[in-house]
Amino acid sequence: MDRSMLRAILGSLFGMSALGGLALIGAGPNPVPGKPEGNWRLLDPVTYENITIFPVVSSFMQDTSPFLTLDEGLSSGEVIVSEQGAAGLARTRDGRPVAVPQYNTGASVNQLVLINRSKRPLLLLAGELVSGGKQDRIIGKDRIVPVGSEPLPLDVFCVEHGRWTGASSQFGASKTIVHPSVREQAAVAQDQQEVWNAVRSGTLAKAAPPPSSAGSPGAVASEAYAPRITTESIQVTIDGAAPTQAYAKIYEGGRVGASVDGFAEELRRRFDRATLGLKGERVVGVVVAYGGDVAWSDIFASGELFEHYWSKLLRSYAVEALARPSYRETAAITDAREFLRNLNGREVVESEPGVYRWREITEGRLSLIELESISPKAMTLHRLLLHRTS
């Protein structure tokens, strides 16, 4: 081969390799389609009492309209969730009857049956609550249910310990996602007993020791304060209004619910004011801190998807804030930025070929869970990173 031609071929190959390397660096560590770490930006924090929320904004948006959410599917009747062993008819929102096939032989606490009759893949998030059946349950793990799938055995956790009966085997939309202490036990620990413990106690987070003022002349330790939602106040609510220990009745009504309503509304007002007037960017998620402890983040592939879940998530963060013992500290934005990085640790991957990929990475007390769709387009639909309480 002519030497000049050989040099040209080698130069071309080297140039392609160099370009590929540059593209990899520019995309950030471990790039995944639809996962724009380099495009995420934190806004100034929104603070109210012991909670600080850092809005996460991006100019990079995915089209998430091909996906159906659980609330939408249950409300329209396109998605049916029922107890195992149940057979009969359900109806869509326009009154059309839909057959519910019998699956397995009997009801199970930790498994339901889901049917996706819609023309869109269904997105499920760990911690979403479905009400009805023999007892209320929450979704156990992020996943996608494809169009035209067979009745799906759905892993769930009970959040209504004192009931195992019901007039109907069907479940309806509750428009609720449980607060982080409960959600962690489902999504990460996957422990039914700890889910119940978190529902009854409000939080599993332990009080941090007061910051030491030793060696800092004139310094004063942060003032501790008692949480508004306590084990005692939850028990009073259970005794009076929620004898079956139903999550929704404990945290969305009565004395506890009233505290959450006012707190969440003030937090929403401050958040809306802080995120007003964005140009070329949308809010796609949040990083949440309680006192000085940056503890949680939820980030989505689009602003539209974030907005769909935001009301439920905001209320769940408010419940956690009211239940957590803490000190009057404010988290630093540098600590919040740590929640935008990838983790390096033990990785567990689950997937359904051609549908989705789920992975969890554990590094110390941090857990990162990502749900990536494969079809109709590859994108990371939801990213959860949390500082575990146990």
Whether residue 15 is contained in a domain is answered as: no
Q: Are 219 and 213 in contact (CB under 8 A)?
A: yes
pLDDT of 116: 96
* Top mean-pLDDT range of 148-157, 252-261, 321-330: 148-157
* Parent domain of 120: 37-205+228-387
Whether residue 27 is contained in a domain is answered as: no
**212 or 146, greater pLDDT:** 146
pLDDT of 208: 58
What are residue 130's DSSP bridge partners?
137, 173
Nearest in space to 36 (alpha carbons), one of 67, 21, 56, 58: 58
Determine how β-strand 46-48 pairs with β-strand 51-58. antiparallel
Which two structure tokens, joined as six digits, stand for 169?
């085997």
Whether residue 86 is contained in a domain is answered as: yes
As a whole number of angstroms, the distance between CA 370 and CA 348 comes to: 11
Whether residue 214 is contained in a domain is answered as: no
As a whole number of angstroms, the distance between CA 252 and CA 242 comes to: 11
pLDDT of 390: 80
* Top mean-pLDDT range of 24-33, 226-235, 301-310: 301-310
pLDDT of 42: 97
Whether residue 28 is contained in a domain is answered as: no
Kindly report the average pLDDT of the chain as a whole number. Answer: 85
Sheet bearing 137-139, strands edge to edge: 79-83, 111-116, 152-158, 137-139, 128-132, 171-177
Confidence of residue 224 (pLDDT cuts 50, 70, 90): low
Confidence of residue 5 (pLDDT cuts 50, 70, 90): very low
pLDDT in tens, 115-133: 999 999 999 999 999 999 9
pLDDT in tens, 164-215: 998 788 999 899 999 999 999 999 999 999 999 999 999 998 765 555 444 4
As a whole number of angstroms, the distance between CA 62 and CA 330 comes to: 33
Whether residue 19 is contained in a domain is answered as: no
Confidence of residue 339 (pLDDT cuts 50, 70, 90): very high
As a whole number of angstroms, the distance between CA 281 and CA 271 comes to: 16
Q: Are 186 and 138 in contact (CB under 8 A)?
A: yes
- HEC per residue, 109-131: CCEEEEEECCCCCEEECCCEEEE
- HEC per residue, the chain: CCHHHHHHHHHHHHHHHHHHHHHHHHCCCCCCCCCCHHHCEECCCEEECCEEEEEEEECCCCCCCCCEEHHHHHHHCCEEEEECCCCEEEECCCCCEEEECCCCCCCECCEEEEEECCCCCEEECCCEEEEECCCCEEECCCEEECCCCCCEEEEEEECECCCCCCCCCEEEEEEEECCHHHHHHHHHHCCHHHHHHHHHHCCCCCCCCCCCCCCCCCCCCCCEECCCCCHHHHHHHHHHCCCCCEHHHHHCCHHHHHHHHHHHHHHHHHHHHHCCCCCCCEEEEEEEEECCEEEEEEEECCHHHHHHHHHHHHHHHHHHHHHCCEECCCCCHHHHHHHHCCCCCEEEEEEECCCEEEEEEEECCEEEEEEEECCCCCEEEEEEEEECCC
- Which of 5-19, 146-160, 231-245, 276-290 has the least mean pLDDT? 5-19
- Which of 32-36, 38-42, 106-110, 294-298 has the least mean pLDDT? 32-36
pLDDT of 325: 79
pLDDT of 99: 54
Mean pLDDT to the nearest integer, 226-231? 90
Whether residue 237 is contained in a domain is answered as: yes
As a whole number of angstroms, the distance between CA 295 and CA 111 comes to: 29
Number of structural domains found in the chain:
1
Whether residue 85 is contained in a domain is answered as: yes
Which two structure tokens, joined as six digits, stand for 121?
């893949």
| Stated length of the chain | 390
> Which phi and psi (to 5°) does residue 137 adopt?
-130, 165
Residue 113 has pLDDT above 70, yes or no: yes
pLDDT of 87: 54
Residue 13 has pLDDT above 70, yes or no: no
